[in-house]
Copies of this chain bind each other. A is one copy, B any other.
Amino acid sequence: MSQSLARALQILTSLGEGERSLDQLAGELGVHKTTVLRLLRTMEADRFVRRDASHKYRLGSRLFALADVAREQHVVRQVAAPHLRELNQKTGQTVHLAAWENGEVIYVDKLDSVRSVRMYSQVGVPAALHCTAVGKVLLAAQPKRQRDAVLASLDYKAYTPNTITDADRLRDELLTTQERGWAQDKAEHESFINCIGAPLKDGSGRVVGAVSLSVPDVLLNYEQVLELLPDLLATAEAITADYN
């Protein structure tokens, strides 16, 4: 729609992976150096990018400032934050908060396990829809039309032997999810990690997000994770109740 802007955003995304030189960027975008230079200059003027002594470009500091605001603006996050902390402390496990955004499921918040077993999910990055608890919860909550569209367009990448790899089985799974009110992920995304997830609703009952607990099975097996279900659901209830 706006070519130059799209290219600029591509540059930012690329810089997100590490510092780049002018030529590198020009190569990646497939455009002339001059073009990249002008875009970079415009962004540099507003501190969206900066460049060091050796003419390498990096992300600029205005992004920090914006990001803090962006996070705060996620209403879901504000309401949920204290409850998530409580859940994290009570269970000691990794807690994720995700929201539906523009056809994707995005991790909005993450609280690491007190055990130092870190997962490599990252706030701000999309989650897989067919093999994560939050993905299933949010997908199950979409209107039929959109859900079917998404089901048809997924790539069903098999992250583990347990990953659901076709639309029909996923459709069944989503029905189950919707009926019982929570979703499971039995090592479907990362081997040896089981998750359970529950939906968050706003005042009008619309699903606006999802919480999940993730537990490596060196700590708890799947049945033991299910014992945490009441805590998870209570948290989801409490957050939902805060939307009045």
Does A39 touch B at the CB level, under 8 Å? yes
For A45, list chain B residues within 8 Å (CB): 1, 6, 102
With both beta carbons as reference points, the residue of chain B lying nearest to A106 in the complex is identified as: B61
Bitwise interface map of A from 1 to 26 toward B, beta carbon under 8 Å scored 1, else 0: 11011101110110011110000000
Interface positions, chain A 104-158, Cβ under 8 Å from B, are 104, 106, 108, 122-125
User: Copy number in this complex?
Assistant: 2
Contact of A47 with B2 in the complex, beta carbons under 8 Å? no
Does A32 touch B at the CB level, under 8 Å? no
Does A63 touch B at the CB level, under 8 Å? yes
Contact of B9 with A66 in the complex, beta carbons under 8 Å? no
C-alpha spacing A102/B59, complex, angstroms: 13
Does A192 touch B at the CB level, under 8 Å? no
C-alpha spacing A13/B67, complex, angstroms: 11
Given contacts A68-B122, A68-B124, contact A1 B38 (CB under 8 A): yes
Nearest CB on B from A107, distance (A): 8
Does A86 touch B at the CB level, under 8 Å? no
Does A65 touch B at the CB level, under 8 Å? yes
Query: Which stretch from A69-77, A88-96, A159-167, A230-238 is at the chain B interface?
Result: A69-77
Q: Which residues in A have some Cβ–Cβ distance to B below 8 Å? A: 1-2, 4-6, 8-10, 12-13, 16-19, 38-39, 41-48, 50, 58-71, 73-74, 99, 101-102, 104, 106, 108, 122-125
User: Which 8 pairs from chain A and chain B are nearest by CB?
Assistant: A67-B67, A65-B124, A64-B124, A59-B70, A61-B106, A2-B42, A63-B70, A9-B46
